[in-house]
Chains A and B, each alone.
Chain A
Amino acid sequence: MADKASPTGPAACPSTRAEPGTSLLGVVQADGRVHYLKDRLEIDQEFIDVASRDGPLEQRFRFAGTCVECACKQWDGAKCRVIETVSSFLPPDDDGAPLHPCSIRPTCRWYRQAGPSACRICPLVRTEIV
């Protein structure tokens, strides 16, 4: 799918690793979905230290940072493969429901590539270490 937003500046990765300076994008809740913060909240080392006590951060939270493109294994040279892959799990048509609040949507890499359909599957995505 073509880019939905005119790329201005670097894109934001909606599922980056927890590192000081990245933003807390959302929290995985009991229903298994990610629930999103409406505004950017930058994390620091103290957040990482405290939140790490109950398990791997990336499985319980989602973090946003700058898309590093070719420095990431998910980058195919022109786009992020993740959203293409996960989008194939859901019907392509949108149901017209309002999108959830999101602090990075205007610059989100996935949104740029797949538009609102990326936002519909995004709450189901989390990092898993197996």
Chain B
Amino acid sequence: MLFHLLKTKSIFCQPWEDNFMSNTQRDAETNRRTLIAAVAAAGAAVPLMTASAKAASGTDDDQRCGSTGLKPGPRFVVDIGGVDIPPDMAEVLGAQIRKMVLMTLARSGMKVPVYEGGLPPYWYGLVVNQAVMLEIKKKEMPGK
């Protein structure tokens, strides 16, 4: 798992990745595998899945990913400490956690009316949420 995760950098929050890399040497020396699967949220329900040789330190989201000005959402940490588990089992565990997060998010989305048809082929249409945009403009340009 440790080595697998090193290859899949995309699941890491960048500052944690630095910590992770700096701890690789120590981890090898102690011959310990520590898996921390963390699910974090910033803003509302935003997951973070990460693994590190470093024990959970309780570092908050602001320190890891910069202040967002948003209320942090729930954070779930699974820490198996210094327990040594086979890499293939750790990989399966990581995949299961990732899957659970994904399916929870799938069910958590807002309900909106269903339109028939969907997007036409090759069309990647986008709109700006005008209601929110107008709120921002009012705040930023109160005189206008």
Main secondary structure of the interface of B (DSSP, over half): loop
The reply to whether B128 and A86 contact each other, CB–CB distance below 8 Å, is yes
Q: Is B129 an interface residue (CB 8 A)?
A: yes
The reply to whether B114 and A41 contact each other, CB–CB distance below 8 Å, is no
Given the complex of chains A and B, what is the CA–CA distance between A126 and B42 in angstroms? Answer: 19
CB < 8 Å neighbour of B106 from A30, A50, A73, A86: A50
- Count how many chain B residues have C-beta atoms less than 8 Å from C-beta atoms of the other chain: 53
The reply to whether B46 and A35 contact each other, CB–CB distance below 8 Å, is yes
Given the complex of chains A and B, what is the CA–CA distance between A55 and B112 in angstroms? Answer: 5
Main secondary structure of the interface of A (DSSP, over half): loop
Interface residues of B (CB under 8 A from A): 10-13, 40, 42-50, 65-70, 98, 101-103, 105-115, 117-119, 122-129, 131-133, 136-137, 140-141
A-B pairs with lowest CB-CB distance, top 4: A55-B112, A35-B43, A51-B106, A60-B109
16 A-B residue contacts at CB 8 Å?
A: A13-B124, A15-B126, A17-B119, A26-B46, A29-B44, A32-B132, A37-B47, A46-B106, A47-B103, A51-B105, A55-B113, A57-B109, A72-B122, A73-B122, A89-B133, A101-B13
Having A41-B101, A51-B109, A89-B133, one finds 17 other A-B pairs with CB under 8 Å, namely A29-B44, A32-B131, A32-B132, A37-B47, A38-B13, A41-B98, A41-B105, A51-B106, A54-B112, A55-B110, A73-B122, A90-B137, A98-B67, A101-B66, A125-B127, A127-B119, A127-B126
